[in-house]
Amino acid sequence: MRLTNNIISKNYLKSLNKSLTEMNDMNTLIAAKRKYMRFSDDPVSALRAMKVRQNITRIDVYTENLRDADDIFSQYESVISNVNSIVSDALVQVSQGMTGTSDEVARQTIAKSLEAFQDAILAAVNTQFAGKYIFSGDTVGQPPFSIDPDTGKLLYKGDPVDNITEFAEKRYIDIGLGLGVDEGGDVLPKTVWDIAVSGLDLLGYGVDEEGYTKNLYNMLGILAEKFENNDMTDIDKLYEKLQKIADNVRVQYVSVGEKSEYIKFFVDRLGSEQYNLMAKQTRLEGLDLAEGITKFANLELAYNACLQIGTKILQPSLLDFLK
């Protein structure tokens, strides 16, 4: 086959353009610090990297959910701490009012203090966070607690707390336990985390075997009425009931603290998992800069050599002679 100057020139320019393209592509990869820019360049690695990216995105969602839960539990702890302080002060006030040295005026003053404690407790358990009532379980749009105008007793979602014998409050979030639903479309409890803290658990509900309320607000109301009327009947027994309610508040305080610690543990675990996934993503997608620069230098050398060869194989034109 006869090779004409025209064929040689076309093949040379084609090779020169290919060399320049490869050098430019490598420069782009170095700038982006990536092994490839298109899925088709390495389908196997790209597919694996896509799955890793999906997992990283899920972990970001789980972590954000946990951080939101942590903010809510911080608010829980703050409120329960306030309620715990209130019930501690109430025990001191009641203890002082029970002594024989307290006269009628002093007991009326104590009654006013206990009523003020009631108002503070009601405000505390109707606390909102991000526009939602945190002590109302899964129903967060309405204040959970109110006062019966006829009896002055506490109501929970419209029902007298002393009449409540059982309840179920759930507020689920997905933290990466493998969210699942049953055949009826309900969330499986073991696949999510329940962050609901009900005000009923905090303040108490129902009555005991003797018919006395187990609710903090109502018990303070009974004691306030006793001191207001200077009636010391069964005051010792009521004081003991208040102590039991106070113990329950402390238990709830500890329980919320344990859940806060669980959040920190899970956030750390997700952080470690995300770190490992990002390292894997770097292995699948990331370019070793030293290797990339070496390849670029080789391509640049080949391109320059190609330019030099061109001066020898390309036929001079009339313009070259005119110069």
The domains located in the chain, with CATH, are 15-33+288-313 (no CATH), 47-282 (1.20.1330.10)
Q: What is the pLDDT of residues 41-76, one digit of tens each?
A: 788 888 888 898 888 888 898 888 888 888 888 888
What does the alpha-carbon distance between residue 39 and residue 47 come to, in Å, rounded to a whole number?
A: 8
What does the alpha-carbon distance between residue 229 and residue 148 come to, in Å, rounded to a whole number?
A: 22
Q: What is the pLDDT of residue 216?
A: 94
Cα end-to-end distance, the chain, whole Å: 34
What does the alpha-carbon distance between residue 320 and residue 100 come to, in Å, rounded to a whole number?
A: 123
pLDDT, greater one: 203 or 316: 203
The residue-averaged pLDDT of 167-192 equals 74
> Which range is least confidently modeled, 85-89, 178-182, 278-282?
178-182
The residue-averaged pLDDT of 100-107 equals 80
| Beta carbons within 10 angstroms of residue 279's beta carbon | 12
- What type of residue is 113? S
